[in-house]
């Protein structure tokens, strides 16, 4: 056995850092860090909450869109309800009266088009034998066949294709009925939420303001007033323009002798105003189709009138009615409608412009603007000099004189 050298001093052990010691201990002992189980549980909980929220959002999308439409409808009927309350009427009663008027107007609109659709279907059913005989006669003359309507009806009655088609049509009728009932239920839900929002407007504002500090409550009320002003202004200006458009188109259709002139005029007025920019031309398709059944030239006259009236409305009626309510550039309006349709479908089409008008007014109040620098003004004036005192006819005469001299 070797003995240690007593004269030799023992060397101190090499020092190790705490991180290296912890790593060595973990590697040597094979223990799991304490934070890892908690992190895994937290990650799984977040994933579960996200999945649950996504599932609930997709299931409740229809309800959320209905609440959004109801909120804007409540903002739109706020001014007449407030006027009735100022005259001594209870707020619930005033809200109920306004909602009943809107419901009657909507029911009348759909009733008119129900009668129009029923009349068209009845006319097609009455004239179907004549159309069938005309088509069979053309086939016999063209292809030298000897077909008859009675023989074709007998073959269809004996074939299994007709039975299968009738069975599928019965299922389609059931689906259509379910869709109609679902649509009526959604409309009723929207009206109920709009009634509650409008009837409890002051209480709702107080509840929202109670969640904010006193410095932010004034800003909340100002944003609320801007939303009410822009939404109600949009609805009333569009409603008035729809009335003017309906009256003008009714006079035109009545003079041409087009059937169902009142229903077609209301259709053009409503669709052309609440679907901006392209609504007029979409709405004109139905009266043109009905007028074409009367005569091809009648459809041409309807198209000419629609184009002329659109220019008259764009340059004379609309600027005067919307200058103080929803003064939005046409390109911005069109883009907002496209974006709203892509996000929320038909509901986005209806509420896109009031939302953009509210945001524009809100930004106009809070966004600070600065004067344009003098250098930019001078550069713009040099590039685009003004010719003051000379109208367009005067400039044209000057150009013609210059050419004559040359």
pLDDT band at 398 (very low <50, low <70, confident <90, very high): low
Q: Is residue 352 part of a domain?
A: yes
- The dihedrals phi and psi of 373, each to the nearest 5 degrees, come to -65, 150
pLDDT at 152: 73
More confident residue, 286 or 183: 286
Q: What is the pLDDT of residues 351-360, one digit of tens each?
A: 777 777 777 7
Is the pLDDT at 17 greater than 60, yes or no? no
Let me know: does 260 contact 291? Beta carbons within 8 Å.
no
Report the C-alpha gap between 292 and 116 in whole angstroms.
16
DSSP characters over 12-75: PPPP--HHHHHHHHHHHH-PPPTHHHHHHHHHHHHHHHHHHHHHHHHHTHHHHHHHHHHHHHHH
Q: Is residue 136 part of a domain?
A: no
321's tokens: 């009615």
Model confidence, pTM: 0.63
pLDDT at 311: 84
Calculate mean pLDDT across residues 72-100: 89
Residue 292, exposed/middle/buried by CB under 10 A (0-12, 13-18, 19+)? middle
Let me know: does 97 contact 80? Beta carbons within 8 Å.
no
Q: Is residue 85 part of a domain?
A: no
What number of CA atoms fall less than 13 Å from residue 281's CA on the CB side?
4
Q: What is the total count of domains within the chain?
A: 1
Calculate mean pLDDT across residues 56-81: 86
Q: Is residue 269 part of a domain?
A: yes
pLDDT band at 28 (very low <50, low <70, confident <90, very high): very low
261's tokens: 């002139």
Is the pLDDT at 4 greater than 90, yes or no? no
Calculate mean pLDDT across residues 385-405: 52
Residue 252, exposed/middle/buried by CB under 10 A (0-12, 13-18, 19+)? buried
pLDDT at 47: 94
Report the C-alpha gap between 297 and 258 in whole angstroms.
12
pLDDT at 119: 72
- Which of 240, 348, 323, 328 lies closest to 277 in space, CA to CA? 328
CA–chain centroid gap for 104, Å, is 23
Q: What is the pLDDT of residues 338-348, one digit of tens each?
A: 787 778 776 77
What is the DSSP-derived secondary structure letter of residue 11? Answer: P
pLDDT at 251: 92
Q: Is residue 249 part of a domain?
A: yes
pLDDT at 174: 62
- The dihedrals phi and psi of 302, each to the nearest 5 degrees, come to -65, -45
pLDDT band at 375 (very low <50, low <70, confident <90, very high): low
Tell me which residue range forms the domain holding 346: 219-362
Using a pLDDT cut of 70, give the percent of the chain over it. Answer: 71
Instruction: Choose the weakest-confidence range: 70-74, 292-296, 326-330.
Output: 326-330
Let me know: does 168 contact 48? Beta carbons within 8 Å.
no
Report the C-alpha gap between 21 and 16 in whole angstroms.
7
Is the pLDDT at 335 greater than 60, yes or no? yes
Q: What is the pLDDT of residues 154-203, one digit of tens each?
A: 776 666 666 676 666 555 556 666 777 777 888 888 888 988 888 888 88
290's tokens: 């009905």
Using a pLDDT cut of 90, give the percent of the chain over it. Answer: 7
Is the pLDDT at 1 greater than 50, yes or no? no
Mean pLDDT of the chain: 76
pLDDT at 97: 92
Is the pLDDT at 46 greater than 50, yes or no? yes
Q: Is residue 175 part of a domain?
A: no
Q: Is residue 76 part of a domain?
A: no
pLDDT band at 389 (very low <50, low <70, confident <90, very high): very low
């Amino acid at each position: 056995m070797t003995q240690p050298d007593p004269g030799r001093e023992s060397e101190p052990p090499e020092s190790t850092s705490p991180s290296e010691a912890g790593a060595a201990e973990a590697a040597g002992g094979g223990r799991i860090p304490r934070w890892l189980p908690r992190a895994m549980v937290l990650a799984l909980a977040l994933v579960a909450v996200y999945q649950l929220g996504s599932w609930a959002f997709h299931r409740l999308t229809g309800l959320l869109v209905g609440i959004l439409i109801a909120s804007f409808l409540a903002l739109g009927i706020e001014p007449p309800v407030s006027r009735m309350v100022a005259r001594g009427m209870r707020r619930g009663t005033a809200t109920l009266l306004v909602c009943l008027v809107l419901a009657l107007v909507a029911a009348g609109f759909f009733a008119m088009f129900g009668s129009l659709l029923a009349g068209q279907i009845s006319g097609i059913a009455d004239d179907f034998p004549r159309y069938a005989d005309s088509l069979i006669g053309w086939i016999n003359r063209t292809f030298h066949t000897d077909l008859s309507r009675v023989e074709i009806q007998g073959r269809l009655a004996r074939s299994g294709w007709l039975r299968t088609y009738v069975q599928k049509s019965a299922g389609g009728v059931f689906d259509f009925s379910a869709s109609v009932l679902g649509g009526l239920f959604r409309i009723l839900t929207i009206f109920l939420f709009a009634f509650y929002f409008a009837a409890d407007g002051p209480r709702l504002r107080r509840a929202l303001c109670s969640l904010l500090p006193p410095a932010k409550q004034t800003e909340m009320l100002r944003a609320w007033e801007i939303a009410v002003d822009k939404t109600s202004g949009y609805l009333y200006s569009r409603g008035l323009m729809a009335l003017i458009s309906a009256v003008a188109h009714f006079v035109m259709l009545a003079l041409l002798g087009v059937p169902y002139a009142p229903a077609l005029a209301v259709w053009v007025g409503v669709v052309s105003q609440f679907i901006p920019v392209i609504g007029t031309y979409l709405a004109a398709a139905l009266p043109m189709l009905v007028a074409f059944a009367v005569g091809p030239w009648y459809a041409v006259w309807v198209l000419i009138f629609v184009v002329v009236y659109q220019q008259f409305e764009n340059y004379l009626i609309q600027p005067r009615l919307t200058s103080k309510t929803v003064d939005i550039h046409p390109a911005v309006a069109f883009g907002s409608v496209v974006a709203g349709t892509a996000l929320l479908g038909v509901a986005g089409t209806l509420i896109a412009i009031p939302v953009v008008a509210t945001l524009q007014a809100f930004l106009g109040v809070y966004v600070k603007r600065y004067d344009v620098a003098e250098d930019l003004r001078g550069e713009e004036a040099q590039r685009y000099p003004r010719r003051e005192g000379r109208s367009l006819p005067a400039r044209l005469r000057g150009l013609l004189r210059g050419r004559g001299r040359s």
